[in-house]
Amino acid sequence: MFIKRKKIENELSLINQKLNALAIENNSHKILPANILARLNKANEQQIIQNIQLAEFKVYSQWGDDGIIQFLVDYLDISQKTFIEFGVQNYTEANTRFLLINNNWTGLIMDGSEENINYVKKDDIYWQFELTAIPVFITTENINSLITQNGFSGEVGILHIDIDGNDYWVWKEIDTINPVIVIVEYNSIYGPDNTWTTPYQADFYRTAAHHSNLYFGASLAALCDLAEEKGYHFIGSNSHGNNGYFVRKDKIKDLRTMNAQEGYVLSKFRESRDENGDLTYISGTDRLKAISGMDIYNTRTNELEKIK
């Protein structure tokens, strides 16, 4: 029995070694063409500063954000090569992973799942690069202390917020760092004009709040208002309509700035669920109807409304 078990363990170890080798080879195949695209983006700088979507390419990001981020860090004057991203899941599909690997930046990532963070710590990137991964559920009450306790303060290169809920409130609360670039997920189904966010709830969990998974986060207009308060210009969204890009006003250079209506993109991905957790594939304005009657906070009037 012992010999048989040992044989199985050895076979599994060999399989894992082969999988790791394939992963490394696959990563190198991804990074080379991405660097070629990044150089082409530099050559196309005058067009891209008018429309950041032209820079898109995907390596580890869910959509084309790797290309936008790479263009911005090449174009802007960023002295601190550091990033903070939270809501990363297991970090295999994340918007700062390419920056970590390709540009050797230093980063802090956080996620509410200890299982996800343990996965990251077992990934080779955790010893190959200067990355700190923390399992924590982020709230307005703990965000500043989490940042400073993990060695970050003052100017950082990028802050990326994607927590599917209190994104607006957490960004509003952050005052211990001064990022050059801020990327925040917005909820496209709230439309281009409404200044909405879900009311703050420390333990907000998207699926528990509404089975559809459509009731979360903030509208782009609400985030643009907050950006203005915090000293940032809005420079556009990715082409899939879920991430807004903001650059600190003293670092903007010749990037085109715009308002929420100009930079808004209606998302087309169909992630809605029914009461059983099954995908329903509803799209367009029907998604807003699915959460009709839910409470929403208007960040301009500072009052609760009902979604209609």
Q: Region of 179 please: left (phi>0), alpha (psi -120 to 50) or beta.
A: beta
Mean pLDDT across 47-65: 97
Q: Give the predicted TM-score (pTM) of the model.
A: 0.91
Reference 202, options 169, 226, 176; nearest CA is 169
Question: Which two tokens mark 151?
Answer: 């060695």
The pLDDT value recorded for residue 24 is: 47
Query: Quick one: pLDDT at residue 32?
Result: 85
Q: Is the pLDDT of residue 222 over 50?
A: yes
Return the minimum-mean-pLDDT range out of 25-39, 65-79, 94-108, 259-273: 25-39
Q: Which two tokens stand for residue 207?
A: 């699926």
Burial of 29 (0-12, 13-18, 19+ CB in 10 A): exposed
Confidence of residue 59 (pLDDT cuts 50, 70, 90): very high
Structure tokens that stand for 34 in this block: 């991405």
Alpha helices in the chain (DSSP H): 2-43, 45-48, 65-75, 97-103, 114-122, 125-128, 143-149, 167-173, 206-209, 220-230, 260-263, 286-290
DSSP state, 177? Answer: E
- The CA distance from 83 to 150, in Å, is 12
Residue 260 has pLDDT above 50, yes or no: yes
- What is the Cα gyration radius of the chain? 20
Rounded Cα–Cα distance for residues 222 and 233 (Å):
13
Which superfamily does CATH assign the domain made up of 2-306 to? Vaccinia Virus protein VP39 (3.40.50.150)
Average pLDDT over residues 196-225: 97
pLDDT at 23 over 70: no
Q: Reply yes or no on whether the pLDDT at 82 is more than 60.
A: yes
Q: Are 221 and 195 in contact (CB under 8 A)?
A: yes
Mean per-residue pLDDT of the chain: 93
Give the residue-averaged pLDDT of 260-277. 96
Other beta carbons within 10 Å of 153 = 12
* CB-count exposure of residue 77 (10 Å: 0-12, 13-18, 19+): exposed
What residue segments make up the domains of the chain, in order of their start? 2-306
The tokens of 296 are what? 């929403």
CA distances 181 to 4, 30, 120, Å, are 55, 25, 24
pLDDT band at 25 (very low <50, low <70, confident <90, very high): very low
- The length of the chain in residues reads 308
What pLDDT sits at residue 118? 96
